[in-house]
């Protein structure tokens, strides 16, 4: 089941077309990466979903219902730009934002205190936003995004301003939200986060969608039939019909050999060739392209 369906959305600003017939489908309880270079249209699409701006054409469905104002309470949105009132204290800010999403003051306060504990910021309640670091402000904004427990959570560059420790803390919370049945869309330039977290991805480039699907299927689609063998000693030359062979000596004295096969060749043959040469094999794996490799290749038109 798809929580969100975007159908043929287009949006133009003066002489610039920000989106052109973009369609995506976000499965329930997925972590969905929305990727693309700067200016591809990602933020415009997120703002349309959040009803901040309107599309020129197209349709958006949430749980098979056309998008309408009441859906705002079912969505949590963390924008790339900070949206906090600098002079307000942390707790009064969060209670105010939670009440806008339909929570009572008592319920909002109880949930906020639980989030303070989870994000390791207990004791910050009476500090003003302007006195917090960029990372601390991002934690407050994250709490504001999820405190009303929305089913659809949209995060635009959620790790901005975080050190590695706090980045991992937020990643753990994103996984926990998914386990609770939430659907998360996040836009980021950090491809290592996409590799770690995402089950599905879409890539926008020059205002159009160029790629969408489960991450594992996309990586398999772009694989190059390249395999890696980790072995202890050098081996005699491999057959010349292997289309590409390269061997690298590693720091511990072992060797890593990469071999590219022609389509249709059985990778078991690689292991047989090494066994025939009495190699001490420590590892064997297929080398799938990273999301970063796929991203760069498609954006460059390769």
Tell me the C-alpha to C-alpha distance, in Å, between residue 203 and each of 16, 26, 294: 19, 13, 10
* Furthest-apart CA atoms within the chain: distance in Å: 74
Which CATH architecture group holds 2-220?
Answer: 3-Layer(aba) Sandwich (3.40)
Is CATH 2.40.128 the right assignment for the domain spanning 224-286?
Answer: no
Asked if 295 and 215 touch (Cβ cutoff 8 Å), the reply is no
The model's pTM is: 0.86
- Per-residue model confidence as pLDDT tens for the chain (302 residues): 899 999 999 999 888 899 999 999 999 999 999 998 888 899 999 999 999 999 999 999 999 999 999 998 899 999 988 778 888 999 999 999 999 998 999 999 999 999 999 998 888 888 898 898 888 899 999 999 999 999 999 999 998 888 899 999 999 999 999 999 999 999 988 888 899 999 999 999 999 999 999 999 998 888 888 899 999 888 888 887 777 888 888 988 899 998 888 777 788 888 888 888 888 899 999 888 888 888 888 888 75
**How far apart are the C-alpha atoms of 174 and 123, rounded to whole Å?**
23
| Both structure tokens of 178 | 């998914």
Tell me the C-alpha to C-alpha distance, in Å, between residue 209 and each of 8, 58, 146, 289: 10, 14, 28, 20
**How far apart are the C-alpha atoms of 88 and 247, rounded to whole Å?**
60
First and final C-alpha spacing in the chain: 33
Residue 202, beta-bridge partner list: 34, 212
Residues in contact with 71: Cβ distance below 8 Å, sequence separation at least 6, in sequence order: 51, 62, 65
Going from N- to C-terminal start, the domains of the chain cover 2-220, 224-286
């Amino acid at each position: 089941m798809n929580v969100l369906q975007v159908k043929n959305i287009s949006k133009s600003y003066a002489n610039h077309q920000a989106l052109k017939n973009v369609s995506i489908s976000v499965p329930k309880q997925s972590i969905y990466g929305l990727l693309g270079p700067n200016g591809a249209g990602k933020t415009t699409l997120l703002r349309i979903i959040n009803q901040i701006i309107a599309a020129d054409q197209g349709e958006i469905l949430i749980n098979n219902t056309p998008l309408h104002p009441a859906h705002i309470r079912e969505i949590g949105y963390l924008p790339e730009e900070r949206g906090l009132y600098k002079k307000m204290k942390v707790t009064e800010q969060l209670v105010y934002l939670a009440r806008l999403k339909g929570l009572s003051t008592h319920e909002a306060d109880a949930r906020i205190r639980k989030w303070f504990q989870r994000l390791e910021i207990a004791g910050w309640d009476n500090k003003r936003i302007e006195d917090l670091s960029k990372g601390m402000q991002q934690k407050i904004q994250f709490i504001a995004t999820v405190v009303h427990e929305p089913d659809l959570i949209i995060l635009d560059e959620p790790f901005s301003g975080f050190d590695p420790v706090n980045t991992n803390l937020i990643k753990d919370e994103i996984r926990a939200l998914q386990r609770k049945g939430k659907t998360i869309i996040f836009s980021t330039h950090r491809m290592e986060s996409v590799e770690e977290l995402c089950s599905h991805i879409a890539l926008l480039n020059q205002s159009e969608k160029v790629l969408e699907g489960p991450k594992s299927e996309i990586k398999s689609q772009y694989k190059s039939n390249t395999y890696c063998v980790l072995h202890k000693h050098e081996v005699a030359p491999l057959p010349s019909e292997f289309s590409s062979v390269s061997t690298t000596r590693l720091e511990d004295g072992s060797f890593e050999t990469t071999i590219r096969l022609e389509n249709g060749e059985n990778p078991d043959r690689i292991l047989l060739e090494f066994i025939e040469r009495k190699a001490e094999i420590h590892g064997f794996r297929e080398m799938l392209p990273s999301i970063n490799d796929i991203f760069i290749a498609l954006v460059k038109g390769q």
